[in-house]
Structures are given as structure tokens and as C-alpha cells.
């Protein structure tokens, strides 16, 4: 697998790795599950396959636990322009802030960096005859998408994330 030195170092850093709300099955909002705000502190969420199937929608389960991908331009957030924070749909960990989201033209939500480096993990992915870097939630191990080296400044990275792997929490409107 060929990586630039920068991505290899970043991948190594990313792999090392509030508010209370929750998700309701079938909902795209935070409700009934802990919303993990701030830097990941090393705790893990471990559940059985049956527990994940009960808590996640079929699409969330297929992507987060089955490492699948939604079709381009079909996800809830690929064209979202609201301000807020994207959390892991599996465990509530904060992953990306809207200020790092950009239109990559790929049909998936794309970000140039995570909210905190420790809030995403990565590993080599050689599936489908490709050499890629998979992006994972370090807290629950859920598959989020992939990271590529064709993003904008300041990082030059493009985190290509499945909408079903995240839940968007909009910023509260200030009066």
C-alpha cells in the first residue's frame, strides 16, 4: 500500500486513540443515548451483534457494523449545509463539525478533518481490489467511510463519510 508520509503519520495518530441524549431506532436525531462531546477519552462501547441490530436502523447496521457504503447522492447529509456537529450513529461520539465540511462532488458528506484527531481511527482497507484507508469510530469500532489525500487545505484530506454512519446535531439558534 502506498501512502504519502503525511497520510501514514496521520493514520498512525488517528488510530491511537457532556451532554446526555440518545438515538431512537429509525430516527436521524439524537435521542435516548449518550451524546459524547469533546475529545475521546479512551472508553469503548462494546455490544453484541443482537444489541447493535436492535439499536440501529437496518441501513445504519449495514454500514456501521457491516462496513458497507450507501449509494452516492442518496444519504441524508451529503448536501446538508446547516451548522452543527456530526456524531457517530453507533455511540454518539463527536466526529466532525460543519465548518470542516466541503462539497467534494462525490455525493457523500466530505470533511477535511475531524473535530479532534483522537475522535477518528483508521486502518488499511484492501477490499474490492483497492488500497484505501478506512475511517472508524474509535469508541464503538463502527465503519464511517474512507479518507483520501485529495481534499482541500489546510489538511489536504477528504474524509468521505456515509450519512447513515453519523447523526447531525444542529447548532442552537442564538437569539
Number of domain units in the chain: 1
Q: Is the pLDDT of residue 15 over 50?
A: no
Select the more confidently predicted residue: 48 or 19: 48
Query: What CATH number does residue 38 fall under?
Result: 2.170.150.20
In a domain, 175, yes or no: no
In a domain, 136, yes or no: yes
Identify the pLDDT of residue 35: 75
In a domain, 142, yes or no: yes
pLDDT tens, position by position, 31-84:
445 677 888 988 999 999 999 999 999 999 999 999 999 999 999 999 999 999
Identify the pLDDT of residue 164: 97
Section 27-34 average pLDDT: 48
Is 88 considered catalytic here? Answer: no
- Of the candidates 88, 91, 140, 160, the residue annotated as catalytic is 160
DSSP sequence for 119-168:
G-EEEEE-GGG--EEEEE-TTT--EEEEEES---TTT--EEEE-GGGEEE
Q: Is the pLDDT of residue 156 over 80?
A: yes
What Å distances lie between residue 16 and 120, 123, 160, CA to CA? 9, 11, 20
Q: Is 7 helix (H, G, I), strand (E, B) or coil?
A: helix
Task: Provide the residue range defining the domain that includes 138.
Answer: 5-170
Amino acid at each position: 500500500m502506498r501512502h504519502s508520509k503525511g497520510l501514514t503519520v496521520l493514520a498512525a495518530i488517528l488510530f491511537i486513540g457532556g451532554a446526555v441524549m440518545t438515538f431512537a431506532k429509525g430516527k436521524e436525531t439524537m435521542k435516548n443515548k449518550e451524546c459524547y462531546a469533546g475529545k475521546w477519552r479512551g472508553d469503548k462501547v462494546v455490544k453484541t451483534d443482537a444489541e447493535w441490530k436492535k439499536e440501529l436502523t437496518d441501513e445504519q447496521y449495514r454500514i456501521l457494523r457491516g462496513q458497507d457504503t450507501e449509494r452516492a447522492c442518496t444519504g441524508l447529509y451529503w448536501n446538508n449545509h446547516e451548522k452543527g456537529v456530526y456524531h457517530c450513529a453507533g455511540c454518539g461520539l463527536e466526529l466532525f463539525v460543519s465548518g470542516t465540511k466541503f462539497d467534494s462532488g462525490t455525493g457523500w458528506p466530505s470533511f477535511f478533518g475531524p473535530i479532534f484527531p483522537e475522535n477518528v481511527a483508521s486502518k488499511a482497507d484492501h477490499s474490492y481490489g483497492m488500497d484505501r484507508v478506512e475511517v472508524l469510530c474509535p469508541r464503538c469500532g463502527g465503519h464511517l467511510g474512507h479518507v483520501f489525500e485529495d481534499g482541500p487545505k489546510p489538511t489536504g484530506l477528504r474524509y468521505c463519510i456515509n450519512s447513515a454512519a453519523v447523526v447531525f446535531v444542529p447548532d442552537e439558534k442564538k437569539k
